[in-house]
């Protein structure tokens, strides 16, 4: 089980770290647009739509990586008082009640949104340039797949914790210091 967890964590990390660098491109797009708009009175026709699509892409595709790092927001006032086994049992139940139904819905609905968007070659109505948004909508089911796959690793992590009484190790990456 721990090999499967490590493989899925590696895949999520391999996807998340390079995708997170797209935030640098996002910063340049926004800076370029703001500079042209406020200093030269010449706003771009494309920057707003591309910034939204790039941000959405980063946000969705980094979801699995964030889950692998255990960095999603959690309210743990009661959770932290539980033993590791109790935490794992609670997590396991919640993965199946909330997470997997939501991810399955995201993948199914995302597939239909993307398929319809590709069929009509959908373009953004927000700007005069009307950039295509069908590639962006394709990211929705892809991100759902990778987040769902990481969810499987989290379920396996829970099973290991229930069996051994300790949480399996995670990849060490940038972490907030107390």
| Residue-wise pLDDT tens digits, 81-99 | 999 999 999 999 999 999 9
Place of tokens 């069996």: 163
77 versus 149: the higher-pLDDT residue is 149
Distances from the Cα of 114 to the Cα of 28, 57, 75, 89, 129, angstroms: 27, 14, 33, 36, 21
pTM of the model: 0.87
């Amino acid at each position: 089980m721990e090999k499967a967890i490590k493989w899925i964590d590696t895949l999520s990390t391999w996807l998340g770290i390079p995708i997170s660098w797209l935030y640098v491109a996002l910063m340049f797009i926004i800076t370029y647009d703001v500079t042209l708009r406020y200093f030269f009175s010449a706003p771009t026709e494309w920057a707003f739509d591309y910034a939204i699509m790039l941000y959405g892409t980063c946000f969705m595709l980094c979801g699995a990586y964030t889950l692998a790092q255990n960095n999603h927001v959690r309210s743990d006032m009661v959770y932290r008082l539980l033993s590791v086994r109790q935490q794992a049992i609670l997590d396991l139940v919640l993965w199946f009640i909330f997470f997997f139904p939501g991810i399955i819905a995201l993948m199914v609905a995302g597939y239909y949104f993307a398929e319809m968007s590709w069929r009509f070659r959908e373009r953004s109505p927000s700007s005069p340039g009307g950039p295509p948004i069908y590639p962006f909508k394709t990211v929705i089911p892809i991100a759902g797949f990778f987040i769902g796959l990481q969810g499987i690793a989290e379920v396996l992590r829970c099973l290991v914790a229930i069996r051994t009484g300790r949480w399996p190790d995670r990849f060490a990456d940038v972490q907030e210091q107390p």
